[in-house]
C-alpha cells in the first residue's frame, strides 16, 4: 500500500522539484549575482512571472495540446501559443509599471553604476518573452513524449492481447484435433481388446489432466512435455502392429527448462499419421537433446509414396500448421524449423532448434 501511494505522488513530487529548480535558476540566480540591494518590487514582478509561467505551462499541457495539437488543429494551436507568450510579456510589463519597479531598480543601479553593473533598457520584457517561449516549448515537448510513450504502451498492450487471443485460438484447435484422433483409437480398441482400451482411457485421462491444468500456465517444464509425449506414444502403440517400430530418446542428462506446452505433439502426431503402415515395415524415431538453453527435436518417420505429402504448409493436419504460427508468436527469432523429404531413402525428417530461455 505504501509503495502504491509513493508511486501516486511521485509525478507531483517531480513537478515540484523541476519547477523549484527552474524558478531558482531563471528567476533568482541571475539577480542575486548583481551585487546590489534588490527592491521588493522586483521580487513581486518575478513572482507574477513565475505564476504566469505555471499557468501557461499547464494550460498548454492539459488543454491546448490534447484538444488542438493531438487533434491536428496545428494552426490554431500555434496561434494560441503565440498569444499566450505575448500576453505574459504584456502582463509582466504592466506589473512593472504598477509597482513602480523601474524607478526602484534605477535607484539600486545608480548606487553601483561605477562598479560596471549597467541597466539595459527593456531587458525584463525580452526576458519574460523568451522565458515564456521556452516554457511553452518544454510543455509541448513533454506532452508529445508522454503521448508517444502512452501510444507505444497501448500498442504493446494490444499486441500482447492479440497474441494471447491468437495463441488461445491456435491451442484450442490443436487440442481437439489431438483428442479426436485419440478417441478414434480407443474406439477401435474397445472392439479388439477391452483391457487395452481401459489402459488407454487411463492414459488419456492423465494426458487430459496435463492439458487442462498444467498447460494452462503458459509454459511447462521440458520433463513434463517429454512425459506427455511418452504417454501419447504408448497410447498410439496399443493399436500398432509389429511392423511399426517407435523409439523416443530423451536428453541425457536432462536439465529442465520452461517451454510452451504441447509444442512437440504436432510433429509426433504427424509422424504417426503419415509414417505408419499396417502392411509395410515402418519406423518412427524421436530424438530430443539439449545444449545449454537450446532444445533440439528430431522426428523421423518412414515415407510412403502412396500417402500425401506431409510438408508443413501442405499437410491437412491442423496441428502442424498452427505449430509454425505458435513458434512465430512465442519464439520470434529464437527458433529454426526445417523439414526434409528424402524420397530416395523413403524418410521424412522434421528438425526443430529452440532457444528455450
Alpha carbon 333 to chain centroid, angstroms: 15
Residue 106: pLDDT band with limits 50, 70, 90: low
Is it true that the peptide bond before 253 is cis, omega within 30 degrees of 0? yes
With a cut of 50, say whether residue 314 has pLDDT above it: no
Please report the pLDDT score of residue 295 as a whole number: 94
Residue from 124, 121, 130 nearest 53 by CA: 130
Residue 298: pLDDT band with limits 50, 70, 90: very high
Tell me the mean pLDDT in the region 226-245: 85
For 324, residues 6+ apart whose C-beta sits below 8 A from its C-beta are: 312, 337
Please report the pLDDT score of residue 29 as a whole number: 56
Please report the pLDDT score of residue 31 as a whole number: 61
- Taking the CA atoms of residue 5, residue 9, residue 10 and residue 11 in that order, the dihedral angle to the nearest 10 degrees is 140
Residue 74: pLDDT band with limits 50, 70, 90: confident
Please report the pLDDT score of residue 299 as a whole number: 94
Q: What is the mean pLDDT of the chain?
A: 76
Alpha carbon 245 to chain centroid, angstroms: 45
Tell me the mean pLDDT in the region 203-209: 84
Tell me the mean pLDDT in the region 219-228: 90
* Distance separating alpha carbons of residues 219 and 124, to the nearest angstrom: 66
Q: What architecture (CATH level 2) is domain 193-355?
A: 2-Layer Sandwich (3.30)
With a cut of 80, say whether residue 212 has pLDDT above it: no
- Residue where the block lists cell 500500500: 1
* Distance separating alpha carbons of residues 323 and 352, to the nearest angstrom: 11
Task: Give the DSSP H/E element, type plus range, for residue 289.
Answer: strand 282-291
Contact between 108 and 43 under an 8 Å Cβ cutoff? The reply is: no
Please report the pLDDT score of residue 265 as a whole number: 85
Structure confidence by residue, pLDDT tens digits, 21-69 = 676 666 665 565 555 566 667 777 777 888 888 888 888 888 888 888 8
Tell me the mean pLDDT in the region 289-310: 81
DSSP state letter for 217? G
Q: How many residues does the chain have?
A: 357
| Angle between helical axes of 265-274 and 222-237 (0-180°, round to 10) | 20
For 48, residues 6+ apart whose C-beta sits below 8 A from its C-beta are: 91, 92, 95
Residues of CATH 3.30.565.10 domain(s) within the chain? 193-355
CA distances to 198, 225, 317 from 205, rounded to whole Å, are 11, 16, 23
Tell me the mean pLDDT in the region 209-228: 83
Please report the pLDDT score of residue 223 as a whole number: 92
Across 122-126, 164-168, 170-174, least confident range: 122-126
Number of neighbouring beta carbons within 10 Å of residue 120:
8
Across 100-109, 239-248, 267-276, 282-291, least confident range: 100-109
Highest mean pLDDT of the ranges 55-59, 286-290, 337-341: 286-290
With a cut of 60, say whether residue 329 has pLDDT above it: yes
Number of neighbouring beta carbons within 10 Å of residue 260:
21
With a cut of 80, say whether residue 312 has pLDDT above it: no
Strand partners, 355: 294
Tell me the mean pLDDT in the region 161-189: 67
Please report the pLDDT score of residue 172 as a whole number: 58
Across 17-21, 312-316, 342-346, least confident range: 312-316
Contact between 88 and 53 under an 8 Å Cβ cutoff? The reply is: yes
| Angle between helical axes of 265-274 and 318-330 (0-180°, round to 10) | 160
Residue 245, by phi and psi: left (phi above 0), alpha (psi -120 to 50) or beta? beta
Across 57-61, 115-119, 190-194, 245-249, least confident range: 115-119
| Angle between helical axes of 40-59 and 101-110 (0-180°, round to 10) | 130
* Distance separating alpha carbons of residues 116 and 144, to the nearest angstrom: 44
Q: What's the predicted TM-score (pTM) here?
A: 0.55
Please report the pLDDT score of residue 301 as a whole number: 92
Amino acid at each position: 500500500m505504501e509503495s502504491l501511494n509513493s508511486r501516486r505522488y511521485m509525478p507531483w513530487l517531480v513537478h515540484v522539484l523541476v519547477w523549484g529548480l527552474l524558478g531558482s535558476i531563471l528567476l533568482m540566480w541571475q539577480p542575486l549575482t548583481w551585487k546590489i540591494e534588490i527592491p521588493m518590487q522586483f521580487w513581486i514582478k518575478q513572482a507574477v512571472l513565475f505564476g504566469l509561467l505555471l499557468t501557461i505551462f499547464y494550460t498548454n499541457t492539459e488543454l491546448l495540446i490534447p484538444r488542438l495539437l493531438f487533434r491536428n488543429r496545428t494552426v490554431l494551436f500555434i496561434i494560441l501559443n503565440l498569444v499566450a507568450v505575448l500576453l505574459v510579456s504584456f502582463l509582466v510589463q504592466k506589473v512593472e509599471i504598477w509597482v513602480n519597479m523601474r524607478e526602484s531598480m534605477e535607484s539600486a543601479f545608480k548606487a553601483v553604476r561605477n562598479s560596471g553593473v549597467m541597466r539595459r533598457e527593456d531587458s525584463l520584457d525580452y526576458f519574460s518573452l523568451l522565458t515564456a517561449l521556452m516554457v511553452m516549448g518544454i510543455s509541448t515537448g513533454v506532452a508529445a513524449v508522454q503521448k508517444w510513450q502512452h501510444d507505444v504502451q497501448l500498442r504493446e498492450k494490444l499486441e500482447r492481447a492479440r497474441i494471447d487471443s491468437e495463441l488461445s485460438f491456435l491451442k484450442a484447435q490443436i487440442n481437439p484435433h489431438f483428442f479426436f484422433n485419440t478417441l478414434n483409437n480407443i474406439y477401435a480398441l474397445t472392439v479388439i481388446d477391452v483391457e487395452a482400451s481401459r489402459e488407454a482411457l487411463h492414459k488419456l485421462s492423465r494426458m487430459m489432466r496435463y492439458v487442462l491444468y498444467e498447460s494452462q500456465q503458459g509454459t511447462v517444464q521440458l520433463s513434463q512435455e517429454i512425459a506427455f509425449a511418452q504417454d501419447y506414444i504408448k497410447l498410439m502403440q496399443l493399436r500398432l502392429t509389429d511392423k511399426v517400430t517407435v523409439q523416443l530418446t530423451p536428453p541425457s542428462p536432462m536439465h529442465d527448462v520452461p517451454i510452451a506446452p504441447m509444442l512437440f505433439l504436432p510433429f509426433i502426431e504427424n509422424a504417426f499419421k503419415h509414417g505408419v503402415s499396417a502392411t509395410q515395415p515402418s519406423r518412427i524415431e524421436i530424438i530430443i537433446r539439449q545444449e545449454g538453453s537450446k532444445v533440439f527435436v528430431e522426428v523421423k518417420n518412414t515415407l510412403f509414396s502412396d500417402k500425401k505429402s506431409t510438408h508443413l504448409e501442405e499437410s491437412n493436419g491442423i496441428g502442424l500448421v498452427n505449430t509454425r504460427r505458435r513458434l512465430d508468436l512465442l519464439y520470434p527469432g529464437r527458433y529454426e524449423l526445417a523439414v526434409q523429404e528424402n524420397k530416395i531413402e523413403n524418410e521424412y525428417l522434421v528438425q526443430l532448434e529452440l532457444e528455450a530461455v
